[in-house]
Structures are given as C-alpha cells and as structure tokens.
Amino acid sequence: MITISTHVLDTARGRPASGITIRLLHGGADGAWREVASGVTDSDGRIPGFAAAAAPLAPGRYQMRFETGTYLRLHAGAAFFPHVEVVCDLAEAGHYHLPLLLSPYGYSTYRGS
C-alpha cells in the first residue's frame, strides 16, 4: 500500500502555509488524470495523509496539484504561480512525503521522510 503526505511552508514569511487546497491525481494508462483525494492544509501547513482516498493507492504516476493562487494573493499581493503541479512515479509500496517550499516568485519540492 502507498500513503502520501505533504506540507507547505511559506519561505518568505517563515511559517506554515495554511488553507491551501491540494488535489491528488492518478495518471491513467490513457494519459488522463483522475482525482483520488483532496484536502486543505491545516494550521501547521500539513495534510497528514491522503490515505482516506476512495481506494488504496497503487504504484503508478501521481500528481499533487497545489492551488496556491488564493494563498499568494492574500499574503503576497499577487499570484505569479496560481498553482503548482508536482508529478512523481511511485513504484513501490511505502510512505511518500512530498513537501512544497513556497514563496511569491519561486517554489521547490523534494522527497521527504
């Protein structure tokens, strides 16, 4: 079984980014993306897990779509990146933590623990 968690840190403000909607999508063999789970970051900028997806997550290609526009407009005045898409291939069972480090004009991500 695969589990996925995330958190968003606002590096410009030096604090967690709360209230960001994140959609988890699975890439099908036909190339189409299908939403399997979604959530909103809590006061600590986290979505602890997408384990509540309708079905267990299987190996494959996944996309986390961070809807950053509203958050950036509220805290930075503009949204240069209205959303951020992180795509990864999850080849084996296990836990994957995919954080997003966000600022008004840049972002980065990595595989956490």
Say whether 13 sits in a helix, a strand or coil: coil
Residues 6+ away with beta carbon under 8 Å from 110? 98, 99
Place of tokens 């897990």: 49
Q: What is the pLDDT along the chain (113 residues), one digit of tens a residue?
A: 888 889 999 999 999 999 999 999 999 889 899 999 999 999 999 987 665 555 678 899 999 999 999 999 999 999 999 999 999 999 898 889 999 999 999 999 999 88
> HSE (CB half, 13 Å, CA atoms) of 111?
7
Q: Can you list the domains of the chain with their CATH numbers? A: 2-108 (2.60.40.180)
Q: Kindly tell me the number of DSSP H helices and DSSP E strands found in the chain.
A: 1, 10
* pLDDT for residue 60: 92
Q: Residue 113: what pLDDT?
A: 84
Is the entire prediction scored with pTM above 0.95? no
Question: Amino acid identity of 19?
Answer: G
The candidate with the shortest Cα–Cα distance to 109, out of 59, 73, 62, 70, is: 62
